[in-house]
Structures are given as structure tokens and as C-alpha cells.
Amino acid sequence: MYAIIRDRGTQYRVEVGQVLEIALLDVEPGSQVEFGEVLLVGGEITQVGAPALDGVKVVANVVGDVKGEKIVVFKYKNKKRYRRRTGHRQQYTRVKISDIQGA
């Protein structure tokens, strides 16, 4: 069984037991997070929401915070001796899907 959830504008396809990295949440590791905006539940019988399903939610346990890959930003202007090199690492919250309720 799988579900498609929407969290703050981003959609994820999740299954029970899957570890997922989502946008940073202000929660403690070990706590539970519920995603109430479930767009689709698939399996033996597929349920499609319009736009979301009522009474269905996905429960996940917070594993911790992680950082993504480093992105190098390099600005350069030809023949002007202008070079700027900076980097960025996006922070994510790692969650483990524990249950799809109401499906």
C-alpha cells in the first residue's frame, strides 16, 4: 500500500517503513508527525481525493535533522576580475513512515 501526500506544496509518494527527507520541521527527534493532506491511496483498491481524501492520514516518526548536498554558487564577470564563490546546504528533517490510517 502506498499514499501520495502533500506537505507545504511538495508531493511525496510514501510507503510504510520508508525513510523520507522533507523540508525542515521544528520538531524533536522521536516525536510523531501527522500528514493530513493525503491526495491518493493505492493498493488493492485505489482511492483518489478531490483534491484530498477525508479521514485519511499518514503518521511518521521523526528520526532527526540532516543536511543535503552542498551546492556551489559561482559568480563570474568576464575580463573584470570579479569572482565570488559561495555554497549552500539545505537542511531537511528525516522521517520514517509508520502507518497509513483510514485507508
Strand partners, 100: 58
Q: CA-CA-CA-CA torsion for 39, 59, 89, 11, nearest 10 degrees?
A: 0
**Listed residue (58, 70, 69) closest to 95, CA to CA:** 58
Q: In this predicted model, what pLDDT tens digit does every residue of 78-100 receive, in sequence order?
A: 999 999 999 999 999 999 999 99
Grid cell in block for residue 96: 520514517
pTM comes to 0.81
In this model, does residue 45 exceed pLDDT 90? no
Write down the pLDDT at residue 101.
86
Write down the pLDDT at residue 47.
85
- The more confidently predicted of residues 23 and 103 is 23
In this model, does residue 52 exceed pLDDT 80? yes
